[in-house]
Amino acid sequence: MTAADVGAFVFSVEQEALRESVRRAGAAFVEAERVREVMTSSTGHDPGLWAALGEIGVHSLLADDLTGAGIVEAQVVAEQLGRHLAGSAYVGSAVMATVLLRELGGEVAQELLERLAAGTSVATVALAEVGATGPGRWGVDQVSTVVERTAAGHVVTGHKDLVLDLPAADVVLVVGRGEDGPAVMAVEPTAAGVQAESLRTLDATRRLGRLRLERAVGTQVGRADGVAAAVSCATQAAGAVLAAEQAGGARRALEMAVEHAAVREQFGRPIGSFQAIQHRCADLLVVVESSTSVSFAAGRAIDGGHDDADLLVSMALAYCADAYLDVAAATIQVHGGMGFTWDHPAHLFLRRARSGEVLLGSSVEHRERVLDRFLRSRTGSATGTPPPL
């Protein structure tokens, strides 16, 4: 019987080692000045950090089942990156696009996976449609981008929204609808008929774009009958990893508040000695620890193939997004006037938290899914064995 069987959880020695090696590899690229530089760059993507992550094997973690790594390992990476608002396409490329390709399978996917694992390509998934509101925009059902078969191959027409890291991506996996059903097309952003619209985002540390496609040439990836499941798998994986990234950011934001309160003195003593500040920070700690717990529980549930993986991912996304917002706002408050300046990093956490809440579905939408999943999972038994984690 493992720790998990008695309902206990700790990170493994290997996971702790991964955490430490990401921390070390990223150390040179997460200083405040570097973050600001990358923020204002044309792509918002730090090639030095990307290469450093490649050197410790981070890009290939989810590429196949042979690595032995799962969502939890990807979460460990994301948690560290989230602490520093590091400009990287990790969630979009190394998780969402990678998992989508892996699930779709086939020659085209394999070739792209090799490039992603080597760190020589950055990919992103274009799923949500411009103008599509509501929870369905993260599934294949509301896809209205059209894939047509022509004499020369396939062409794609549509208008995609919320495309992560678009300025840095050299391949976009566009989810569209063909004559056989949903289809995924690999499209190059520089190809004819493709107009990448970079958005000026609230969170400059994470670039988002829209993609206008007008009969753009695409290469089909995988087969129609596997697309819905593959997309679902990819968004589930990205959701769990995003939640862990948010948990990491929230933890760092709280640390900053506590550090500041220890040194800022007013009325002859550190403001951290005032109950109002102490109590606020204590409440934030509850929320930070809970974010870590629920995000990694979602990752473990996916890796373990548990029935409640979807439920936990939605719990995690809803909880971690709201938690991150609370902590980021409180950190600004604890920093007083300094927290309100452009130069202080506190507002960057707030911006990251605010936009993160809508990236893969809002907290309200995810809570709706939590209740829905719960209602569907009920067996009606009054007692029964404790639920798996």
- List the interface residues with another protein, window 248-277 (CB under 8 A): 258, 261-262, 269-270, 272-275, 277
- 239 versus 272: smaller Cβ distance to another protein: 272
* Residue 9 is a binding residue for another protein (CB under 8 A): yes
**What is the distance between the alpha carbons of residues 217 and 214, in angstroms, rounded to a whole number?**
9
Question: Minimum CB separation from another protein for residue 5, in Å?
Answer: 7
- List the interface residues with another protein, window 316-335 (CB under 8 A): 318-319
Size of the site for another protein (CB under 8 A): 50
Residue span binding another protein (CB under 8 A) among the ranges 4-12, 192-200, 214-222, 235-243: 4-12
Tokens 């097309």 sit on residue: 185
* Residue 290 is a binding residue for another protein (CB under 8 A): yes
Tokens 């760190």 sit on residue: 119
Question: Minimum CB separation from another protein for residue 7, in Å?
Answer: 5
- Longest distance between any two alpha carbons in the chain, whole Å: 79
Check residue 305 and report its DSSP letter: T
* Residue 289 is a binding residue for another protein (CB under 8 A): yes
Cβ–Cβ under 8 Å, residues 29 and 52: yes
* Residue 286 is a binding residue for another protein (CB under 8 A): yes
**What is the distance between the alpha carbons of residues 70 and 378, in angstroms, rounded to a whole number?**
28
Q: Rule CB under 8 A: choose which of 116, 128, 173, 281 binds another protein.
A: 281
Question: Minimum CB separation from another protein for residue 262, in Å?
Answer: 6
Please report the DSSP string for 161-192 in residue order.
EEEETGGG-SEEEEEEEETTEEEEEEE-TTST
* Residue 340 is a binding residue for another protein (CB under 8 A): no
Binding site for another protein (CB under 8 A): 1, 3, 5-10, 258, 261-262, 269-270, 272-275, 277-279, 281-283, 285-286, 289-290, 292-294, 297, 312, 315, 318-319, 364, 367-368, 370-371, 374-375, 378, 382-387, 389
